Amino acid sequence: MTARAVGRRTALALLLGAAAGCGASQGATGPGSAGKPSAPGGGASPGRSGPAAPRPGTSPAAPGRIRTVTSVREGLPGMRPLRFHSSIGPGPAIAPIGLTPDGKVLASLLDARGVGSAVALVDPGTGAATVLSRFQDGSGGALKTRQSYSGVADARHVAWLDSAAQGEAAGWRLMVHDRASGRTRVAARSGTPVAEAGDLSLADGRLRWSASRGGSRSAMVMRPGDSAPKVWRAKTGAAQPYGRDVVAVAGDRLVRFSAEGRRREVLAEYVTAFAAAGDVLAWCPGEGVIVRLGDGSRLELPEEPALTMSADGPLVAWQAETGGAVLDTRTRVLTRLPKATSFVLAAGGHLLWGVADRAGDPQPRSRTTYHLARIA
């Protein structure tokens, strides 16, 4: 439903910190994991039919060629992160779900119970929030609990998925906000309460996501202004642009397709998460992380399984059980984030990561310190 509260400013109690080096030692979810946050994919590489294939006889790069550091200042020089907190005092807390190219944080606003009440664009520099959508029932009356996730954005549009809270039958919705007109609308929705959706991306002016019902998945596509989505390819999910092609999960395999959906090659027999940006592609084959570069070479990292993965520009970021990590593919330097890292996302030309003040604290309003920096 179109939110009439667009443009209304909501005071957010964000505790702002000075720019800092973040100290020493900080889609896309896995294919088919609908209903969980997903990272946006990258754009196209002009003048190419797709990233180059590995040269015959070329072996993957040894893990020893990657230098590992535990300081953001050392591993990602040039970044000047802004530090802010998820909540302080009785005001609403935020749960980030996406980033915009101008450095705004797309987030759910949480009440004292940790339940989402609205989706807003938050300016971390001022603490102001512009509400894009409130959760209302069909009559526009009482607030209805929904879970927002998988936020993406380009210069004009912001989009995200939401679904009914656990125990409520309402299915999923794709929400699109036009920053030029100030309007928010339901661009697509499920036709059945048991349907699920996830892995949303926005690149080349197209929204892509996976939708499932009764165990069957389809890759969906639409432009932000379209009246209805189309099925890009059946029995496929989690599609993202990769050069001039598209990579998607078919079954358990990571497959490269043409933009029209013609199958080109199987890139991996099994993946649990992946992310693409330009001609950089990264995936988790269950154990470890593999990164394929534009020249066809590969980097193999003996990492723990990635729970979420995102990529933007030269950076690949992922979250594991023991914390987060960011790989700069230009320098081949891997920066390990603190073990208490609860969120990491590379999108919109920015990198955002959050560190829980008390690791493992189950309270819904446990404070998290976020760090936002433009990718240098």
pLDDT at 222: 96
Token pair 């596509």 in the structure block, residue = 221
In 10 A of CB 169, how many CB atoms? 8
Token pair 């754009």 in the structure block, residue = 43
In 10 A of CB 86, how many CB atoms? 26
Phi, psi dihedral angles at 55 (to 5 degrees): -70, 140
Return mean pLDDT, the chain.
79
For residue 308, give its domain range.
Answer: 15-50+61-374
pTM over 0.95: no
Contact 244, 230 (CB under 8 A): no
Helix (H, G, I), strand (E, B) or coil at 284: strand
Question: Above 90 in pLDDT, residue 240?
Answer: yes
Contact 200, 160 (CB under 8 A): yes
Helix H, strand E, coil C: the string for 147-209 is EEEEEEECCCEEEEEEEECCCCCCCEEEEEEECCCCEEEEEEECCCCCCEEEEEEEECCEEEE
Instruction: Tell me whether residue 306 is in a domain.
Output: yes
Instruction: Tell me whether residue 10 is in a domain.
Output: no
Instruction: Tell me whether residue 56 is in a domain.
Output: no
Task: Report the candidate in 356, 375, 376 with the shortest Cα–Cα distance to residue 367.
Answer: 356
Instruction: Tell me whether residue 55 is in a domain.
Output: no
CB contact set of 132 (below 8 Å; sequence gap of 6+) = 3, 6, 118, 119, 120, 121, 158, 175, 177, 184
Confidence of residue 48 (pLDDT cuts 50, 70, 90): very low
**What CATH number is associated with residue 232?**
2.130.10.10
Instruction: Tell me whether residue 9 is in a domain.
Output: no
Instruction: Tell me whether residue 264 is in a domain.
Output: yes
Instruction: Tell me whether residue 163 is in a domain.
Output: yes
How far apart are the C-alpha atoms of 41 and 252, rounded to whole Å?
19
**Which one has a higher pLDDT value, 42 or 268?**
268
Instruction: Tell me whether residue 4 is in a domain.
Output: no
- What integer is the mean pLDDT of 255-284? 94
Q: What are the pLDDT digits (tens) for 154-177?
A: 999 999 999 876 555 568 999 999
- What integer is the mean pLDDT of 33-52? 37
Number of domains in the chain: 1
CB contact set of 186 (below 8 Å; sequence gap of 6+) = 1, 2, 173, 174, 175
Confidence of residue 87 (pLDDT cuts 50, 70, 90): confident
Task: Report the candidate in 185, 175, 183 with the shortest Cα–Cα distance to residue 209.
Answer: 175
